[in-house]
Amino acid sequence: MIAIIDYNAGNVASVKNALSRLGVDCIITSEPAIILSAQGVIFPGQGRAGTAMKELQKSGIDKTIAEISRPFLGICLGMQLLSEFSEEDSTKCLSIIKGKCLKFPPAMKTPHLGWNKVEFVKDSPINKGVANGAYFYFVHSYYFAADDNCVIGKTAYGFEFPSMAQKDNFFATQFHPEKSGQAGSVLLNNFCKLCQQ
């Protein structure tokens, strides 16, 4: 069973539907005990960093996430909240992965919206079988300038920014794999296989 964290900021229905299409059992929950007992955890997100962190702190999920030892996947805002700090709402984040979330420069059109390539800079269990340069679906106005040692994929939008990261059992994507067609399905399926090990 994979737990999808519900914190009033996530696109949880789309993630659940994507997992259901893969035949994977999942549960949408905000219960720390269920999250900690799951085979894996997905942390989707849409909305603002400040509001999302307040919701996580209110429910205690912020502390729960730090205790997770099973495979964990942060998506979009869920990736950004794994950082140390976000310029959005000047928010102190979860500090799972070193780095800060920065707003795209004013001259650039935001949000960065639509399909874009992801170039892999490191092999990872979650990008196995996904073509280098595959297109994924993005919608975001901030990007995670993650520690180079943790970056596994980059995307060009005016400049190159990290679009995939990994630290230990924590994986993160700036794009939405659940909305990214075949490439997204392969990536999610790879994650689910890790959860079953």
Q: Tens digit of pLDDT for each residue in 13-35?
A: 999 999 999 999 999 999 999 99
Q: List the one residue out of 74, 78, 66, 157 whose CA is nearest residue 111.
A: 157
Q: Considering 26, 88, 150, 178, which one is annotated as catalytic?
A: 178
Average pLDDT, the chain: 96
Q: What is the pTM of this model?
A: 0.97
Q: Considering 55, 150, 176, 192, which one is annotated as catalytic?
A: 176
Residue 182 neighbours by CB distance under 10 Å: 11
76 belongs to the catalytic site: yes
Q: Is the pLDDT of residue 113 over 90?
A: yes
84 belongs to the catalytic site: no
Contact in structure between 80 and 138 (CB atoms under 8 Å)? no
Contact in structure between 144 and 83 (CB atoms under 8 Å)? yes
**CA separation, residue 34 to residues 120, 122, 142 (Å):** 33, 32, 31
Contact in structure between 164 and 172 (CB atoms under 8 Å)? yes
Dihedral sign computed on CA atoms, order 189, 153, 3, 170: positive
Total structural domains within the chain: 1
Give the domain extent around 69: 2-196
- Give the model confidence (pLDDT) of 45-72 as tens digits: 888 999 999 999 999 999 999 999 999 9
d(CA 85, CA 147): 13
Cα-flanking dihedrals φ and ψ of residue 76, to 5°?
55, -115
**Pair of tokens at residue 132:** 């280098």
Mean pLDDT of 73-82: 97
Mean pLDDT of 77-88: 97
pLDDT of residue 70: 98
Q: Considering 76, 93, 150, 192, which one is annotated as catalytic?
A: 76
195 belongs to the catalytic site: no
pLDDT of residue 45: 85
Where do we find the tokens 């001259």? 107
What CATH number does the domain containing 161 carry?
Answer: 3.40.50.880
pLDDT of residue 11: 78
- Give the model confidence (pLDDT) of 129-174 as tens digits: 999 999 999 999 999 999 999 999 999 999 999 999 999 999 999 9
- The bridge status of strand 134-140 relative to strand 170-173 is unpaired
Contact in structure between 99 and 147 (CB atoms under 8 Å)? yes
